[in-house]
Structure 1
Amino acid sequence: MNFSESLKKTADFHLVYKCGKSVADKNIVLYVRENDSTINRLGISCSKKIGNSVVRHRFNRLIREVYRLHENIFNSGLDIVVVARRCAKDATYFEIEKSFLSLAGKSHLIKNDEVKDEENTYISN
């Protein structure tokens, strides 16, 4: 991840939960809050209710990969927290990617100059 760091401190997570905007679908909940820097910070939360450590780490890897591949289309200076829902444990990579990108669009996380093509994937102008 070239333009971002990990969100690690519990206090930072709570600040995003408290002061950030949230959007959700059946797989994930996305919280977004502006930070006062030029980089994004990504945090992933996945409780034990989702599954064992193998399932939770798989979800973490999928979210990080989706973010890494689409990092260039996101606005900078944001704290982003992704929370897994129970349906996420059975979701494929493509379902997680679709959920993440659609919620990113709803939360105005995506730059204005990015547009969707016919297959609902984001491309640069």
Structure 2
Amino acid sequence: MAIFIPLKKNSEFKKVYTRGKSAANRYLVLYKLPNGGSERRFGYSISKKVGKAVCRNRLRRILKEICRLNLNRFPDGHDFIFIVRQSSCDQEYNQLEKHVWHVLGRLGD
């Protein structure tokens, strides 16, 4: 069974930013880096420029739920970081899910 593991340490984020591949669209940026293990780890970065805390937390919860429900669509043994852009604040779950698959598809394998 796949386990949902968060990225929390600043050093882990920096490693993915510097060594990972990225893809972006108008709403999201996704960084991906092989982690040498078999688990998938996820991190989320949402700037205060995106909106107030209510908006930022809502977007984070939506992204976490998209990742949790679709773990099998993300490759094993990788770290993923989602950076949410300002235009995402008014997006609903279904729209945000489409944007996630779009940037993941742009990264390829």
TM-score normalised per structure 2: 0.94
Distance 1:39 1:108 in 2: 18
Q: Which residue of 2 aligns with 1:40?
A: 40
Is 2:55 the partner of 1:55?
yes
Deviations along 1:10-29, one digit per CA (max 9) or x if unpaired, are 11101111100110011100
Distance 2:44 2:70 in 1: 16
Is 2:100 the partner of 1:91?
no
Higher RCO (CA 8 Å, separation ≥ 6 residues): 2
Distance 2:7 2:18 in 1: 15
Any conservation in 1 of the 2:4–2:68 contact (CA below 8 Å)?
A: no
Is 2:66 the partner of 1:66?
yes
CA-based RMSD: 1.4
Gaps of 5+ in 2: none
Aligned residue identity for 1:46: I
Q: Percent identity?
A: 36
SS in 2 for 1:90: coil
Which is richer in helix?
2
Any conservation in 1 of the 2:24–2:30 contact (CA below 8 Å)?
A: yes
| Bigger radius of gyration | 1
Aligned length: 109
Deviations along 1:64-93, one digit per CA (max 9) or x if unpaired, are 111112111221100100000000111111
Moved >4 Å (runs of 4+): none
TM-score normalised per structure 1: 0.82
SS in 1 for 2:89: helix
Distance 1:70 1:108 in 2: 17
Is 2:75 the partner of 1:75?
yes
Distance 2:103 2:78 in 1: 15
